[in-house]
Homo-oligomer: A and B are copies of this chain.
């Protein structure tokens, strides 16, 4: 290859928010292939909220990475060398490539992608893990019915926008919560949601009262904190609260605030359920087919926020916290 391999590595677990000292850039040579491995020319890296959990010393649904290791990330690109009969050179594959230009990985850990179906960016967003997360979380766990009221927090985010849109496709009345007028305008004007709430202006509770006069049947939560509490106070009987993330609680795991109003689960006979995509890996093909159809016919709107160059990773990671991105956060390597 003409360019030097580049890796972004974790220096150490950050206390509180990550900063530039959290990461270091290396140019180590690409290792030799072992039997069963493939080499991937990483074209796009996905930057996702789940990464926050991967650089904390606590085990969540998967082990954290260790200091010194290449930062874990989903990536996509063509196979450039193969020591496996699972993927041939030229096949496009996706999986955990890490934040690096060239990845040597276990062939079994990578999923083949139909590059003719959609541009690679879409396979890392609406047709990728974040899209699948919104899709299964809403349809399999939220289970909105026509006419029900669905509220989605971080609704302009990579997961939330898909969750909100598929709920709308089910015939639900969908209210999105996002930060700032621009994102709220995106929710109503481009995604076609029934209402948008700007959590940065005024009381989310008051805004929910106005936007959800019949209460909340499904709440899809990406943020936790006060917004989760405000939603809990307004749930209907037999409501489903899908816990997809807790962005507001990730910064400092040790002092996270729990949902004060959780006893509403009793009085409303409601359910709060968590999940990760590990639960749905076997159902990815059906999600790809269904979501690709919705993209093709224009009913599923999507937007990517693409940064250039692997070195932009620390900047991209900061955006996970400050919300400066508009659309699914990706790095074009």
Contact = CB atoms under 8 A, between A and B. Distances in A.
Interface string A86-112: 000000000000000000000000000
Interface string A231-256: 00000000000011110010000001
Interface string A242-272: 0111100100000011111111111111111
A263 B225 CA distance: 11
A12 interface: no
Contacts of A317: none
A271 B269 contact: no
A2 interface: no
Interface in A205-247: 224, 229, 243-246
Given A269-B274, A276-B266, A229 B258 contact: yes
Contacts of A259: 258-259, 262
A259, A271, A278 interface centre (most CB from chain B within 10 Å): A271
B263 A249 contact: yes
A246 B263 contact: yes
Q: Is the interface of A mostly helix, strand, loop or mixed?
A: loop
A225 to B, nearest CB: 10
A266 B243 contact: yes
A262 B265 contact: no
Nearest to A229: B258
A257 B256 contact: no
Contacts of A264: 274
A134 B224 CA distance: 30
15 contacts: A61-B267, A244-B266, A245-B266, A256-B263, A257-B258, A257-B260, A258-B261, A265-B274, A266-B276, A269-B273, A269-B274, A269-B276, A269-B278, A271-B271, A271-B274
Given A61-B266, A256-B260, 5 more contacts: A243-B265, A246-B262, A246-B263, A269-B275, A272-B273
